[in-house]
Amino acid sequence: MQSSAAPNAIRTKKYQLEKNVFTGIALGKVWRKDWWMALIPFALFMLPAVFSFSWWWVAGAILVTLIFVLLRSAQVMGVTQMEQGNPLFEKLSYEIDSRQILLKRNDREGMALTWDMIGSVERKGEAYLLWLKPPTDAQLPGGWRGWLAKNFQAPVFVMLPFRIFNNPNDIKLLESMLRRKELIA
């Protein structure tokens, strides 16, 4: 764990993100952004039906598209099952200051997220979603594996519900901090 948070840091109550909440939000983000990818296998398998129509081509196109959608959704849901994703779903408290966000399991264990690791922030209902930046090209493998990793990555976020803050001033302070960092409009 890096250095402790500043004395004027925002300290929160402990919170545990439920896996089904994470899955719902992440799947919604993926399919809002990549819905058109499901059309590619459908169009490819419907192409032979243009030249020689058969209901088998239509059924095959629908089946392959359904398999693609299920595999892509399973990939996103796999984040909840991987060992590397476990820290997202533990009961944590947060200490937020102008340098970093400390995710603390207890007084001695935790990890730090610096503000440059956060790509964007979204206010969703009664919570802030801090979306982490995807890996850079230098961090990805080369060749076709790198292309797959870049185009089919699962979004990862930290959720900060308003109820974990100790008072409304902490929420206002966090929002002003996010505006200064240009993460929220």
What does the alpha-carbon distance between residue 38 and residue 18 come to, in Å, rounded to a whole number?
A: 28
Supply the pLDDT for residue 6: 65
Supply the pLDDT for residue 65: 94
- Choice between 129 and 142, residue whose per-residue pLDDT is larger: 129
- How far, CA to CA in Å, does 132 sit from each of 59, 153, 154, 166? 39, 12, 11, 25
Q: Which amino acid appears at position 64 of this protein?
A: V
Predicted structure pTM score? 0.79
Whether residue 69 has pLDDT greater than 90: yes
What does the alpha-carbon distance between residue 65 and residue 147 come to, in Å, rounded to a whole number?
A: 21
Supply the pLDDT for residue 1: 47
User: What percent of the chain stands above pLDDT 70?
Assistant: 96
